[in-house]
Structure 1
Amino acid sequence: MRIERTIATKVLQWAGQYPLVTITGPRQSGKSTLSKMLFKDKTYISLEDVDERDFARRDPRGFLNRFKEGAVIDEVQRVPDLFSFIQTIVDQHNKDGFFILTGSHQFELMENISQSLAGRTAIARLLPFDITEAYPSPGNLLSIDEVLYTGFYPRIFDKKLNATEAMSFYVNTYIERDVRRLVNVKDMSKFEVFMKLCAGRTGQILNFSNLGNDCGIDQTTVKRWLSVLEASYIIKLLKPFYKNFNKRLIKSPKLYFLDTGLVSYLLGIQNETQLVSHPLKGALFESFVVSEILKKRFNAGKTDNLFYFRDNVGNEVDLVIDNGVSVDQIEIKSGQTVNKDYFKGINYFKKLNPGISRSFIIYGGDQSYMEKDVSISSWVNLNKIDF
Structure 2
Amino acid sequence: MITRLLQSELTLALAETPAVALLGPRQVGKTTLAWAVSQTGNAIYLDLESEGDRAKLAQPELYFGDHRDKLVVLDEIHRSPGLFPILRGMIDRNRREGRTGGRYLLLGSASLDLLKQSGESLAGRIAYLELTPLNILETGPEANDTLWLQGGFPESFLASHAASSRWRQNFIRTYLERDIPQFGPRIAAETLRRFWVMLAHHHGGLLNAAQFARNLGVDGKTATAYLDLLNDLFLVRRLQPWHANLGKRLVKSPKVYVRDSGLVHTLLGIRDKETLLSHPVVGASWEGFVLENLISCAPRDCQPFFYRSSGGAEIDLLLHWPDGRLWAIEIKRSLTPKVERGFHAACTDLTPQRRFVVYPGTERFRIGDGIEAMPLYDLARDIAGEHVG
Match of 2:84 in 1: 83
After TM superposition, the structure 1 = structure 2 runs for residues 31-50 of structure 1, keeping only pairs within 5 Å, are 31-40=30-39, 41-50=42-51
Deviation at 1:380, TM superposition (A): 4.0
Per the alignment, residue 361 of structure 1 pairs with: 357
Secondary structure, counterpart of 1:385 in structure 2: helix
Superposed CA offset, 1:308-341 (max 9, x none): 11122332111111224211111111122112xx
Alignment of 1:56-95 (within 5 A): 56=57, 58-68=58-68, 69-93=70-94, 94-95=99-100
Residue 18 and residue 246 in structure 1: after superposition, are their counterparts in 2 closer, same or farther (change >3 A)?
Answer: same
5 Å-filtered alignment, 1:1-387, equals 2-40=1-39, 41-53=42-54, 56=57, 58-68=58-68, 69-93=70-94, 94-107=99-112, 110-135=115-140, 138=141, 140-142=142-144, 144=145, 146-160=146-160, 162-297=163-298, 300=299, 302-303=300-301, 305-324=303-322, 325-339=324-338, 342-354=339-351, 356-370=352-366, 371-386=368-383
- Structure 2 contact 43–72 (Cα < 8 Å) conserved: yes
Structure 1 distance, partners of 2:308, 2:157, is: 37
CA–CA separation in structure 2 for the residues paired with 1:165 and 1:304: 35
Q: Sort the Cα spacing of 1:153 and 1:172 in 2 relative to 1 into closer, same or farther, 3 A.
A: same
Q: What's the CA shift for 1:64?
A: 2.9
Confirm or deny: 8 A CA contact 1:149 1:163 kept in the other structure. no
Residues 55 and 149 from structure 1, CA distance in 2 versus in 1: closer, same or farther, beyond 3 angstroms?
Answer: same
For residues 251 and 296 of structure 2, the distance between their equivalents in structure 1, rounded to whole angstroms, comes to 26
Partner SS state of residue 185, structure 1: coil
Query: Structure 2: which amino acid aligns with 1:187?
Result: A
Change (3 A) 1:233 1:211: same
Q: Percent identity?
A: 28
Q: Which moved more, 1:284-293 or 1:14-23?
A: 14-23
Q: CA deviation at 1:61?
A: 2.3
Which residue identity is paired with 2:135?
D
Q: Which amino acid aligns with 1:357?
A: Q
Q: Give the superposition deviation at 1:292.
A: 0.5
SS in 2 for 1:48: coil
In structure 2, how many angstroms separate the alpha carbons of the residues matched to 1:123 and 1:186? 28
Letter in 1 for 2:349: L
Cα pair 2:112 2:119 within 8 Å, conserved = no
Q: For structure 2, which runs of at least 5 residues remain unmatched after alignment?
A: none
Change (3 A) 1:158 1:97: farther
Output the amino acid matched with 2:179.
D
Of the structure 1 ranges 276-285 and 364-373, higher mean CA displacement relative to structure 2 is found in: 364-373
Q: Deviations over 1:247-273 (max 9, x none)?
A: 111111101121100000001101121
Which amino acid counterpart does residue 288 of structure 1 have in structure 2?
F
Residues 328, 48 of structure 1: alpha-carbon distance in 2 compared, 3 angstrom cutoff: same
| TM-score, normalization by structure 1 | 0.91
| Alpha-carbon offset, residue 377 of structure 1 | 1.1
Kindly report the root-mean-square deviation, in angstroms, between the aligned alpha carbons of the 2 structures: 1.9
Counterparts of 2:218 and 2:76 in 1: how far apart (Å)?
A: 31
* Alpha-carbon distance in 2 for matches of 1:188, 1:66: 43
Deviation at 1:3, TM superposition (A): 1.2
Q: Which amino acid aligns with 2:327?
A: D
Contact preservation (8 Å) 2:156, 2:168: no
The farther-off stretch of 121-130 and 179-188 is: 179-188
Report if the CA contact (8 A) 2:176-2:192 is conserved.
no
Shift of residue 372, structure 1, vs aligned partner: 2.1
Are the equivalent residues in 2 in contact too, given 1:103–1:109 (CA < 8 A)?
no
TM-score (norm 2): 0.90
Distance 1:45 1:166 in 2: 26
Distance 1:8 1:70 in 2: 16
SS state at 2:202 partner: coil
Deviates most, 374-383 or 165-174: 374-383
Q: Which amino acid aligns with 1:76?
A: I
2:312 maps to a residue whose letter is: G
Amino acid in the other structure paired with 1:89? M
- Give the AA of the match of 1:141: A
Give the 3-state SS of the residue equivalent to 1:89 in structure 2. Answer: helix
Aligned AA for 2:191?
K
List gaps (5 residues or longer) in structure 1.
none
What is the number of residues matched between the two proteins? 374
Which stretches of structure 1, 4 residues or longer, exceed 6 Å deviation after superposition?
A: none
Note the alpha carbon deviations across 1:107-128, whole angstroms, 9 max, x for none. Answer: 4654223211122222211011
Which one-letter code corresponds to 2:72 in the other structure? A
- Residues of 1 paired with 2:222 and 2:328: CA distance? 33
